[in-house]
Amino acid sequence: MVKFTETNQLVNLRVLKMDTNDKEFIFKDTNKQQKNIYDHDFLDMEKHFEYFKNISESFEMYLESNGIESSKVYKDLTLINKIIIRVDKRKEYFWIFSDRRVQISEIKEVALLAHGFLKYRPFTMDYNLMPDEKRIKINEGFAAFLIFGTLKEAKKRQQEAEKKPINDFKLSKEYIHNLMYAFEYWDISEEAMMLIVETLWEVC
């Protein structure tokens, strides 16, 4: 069951325990935003839930890789659902404006998803309760985590299909530092984000 509790430290944020068994609640919560606002064909409940579940699992992997307890992170379900809707909407527009011939690539899709996490910032941490070494820019870090993970898996599949030696997806520490700085301080548009991720795909 998805549970919400109010927090005194963070006004207007709700704590979400991501229990991915509660499909109906997640979908109903999304419908509250959809009514009389959007006119595109929405993901059905199963597909929406699957997308949410994938994000949830990826986020837990991200937290684990950084040694962060999930209970110490505030997660706003409304904003996460809004990100999913916006990405789906952009995917549909891409399909329509290509005369229904081309589906958006997974490279562009992860760029849109990452942009959503930078724009809406659904995750928040109480840094006062954490040691310095555990303090991370959680939305920026998760956006990068999604991008790097997707590119790595896509590159691996491509190399396997072409029967080429599988090379690790590597970026210099300096580049990662500069990218994280840009994620935090630059006003990056969706189009610019897609170009960044596609460029990484081409050069790595």
How many other CB atoms are there within 10 angstroms of residue 186's CB atom?
11
Domain locations in the chain as residue ranges: 23-203
Residue 69 confidence (pLDDT): 86
- Please list the rounded mean pLDDT of every run of 10 residues in the chain (204 residues): 29 34 42 45 75 92 90 90 90 70 82 96 78 69 94 84 72 89 93 93 83
| DSSP per position, 91-138 | HHHHHHHTTT--PPPHHHHHHHHHHHHHHH--EEE-GGGS-GGG---H
CA distances to 31, 68, 99, 195 from 104, in Å: 24, 33, 12, 14
Contact criterion met (CB below 8 Å) for 183 and 140: yes
Stated pTM of the model = 0.74
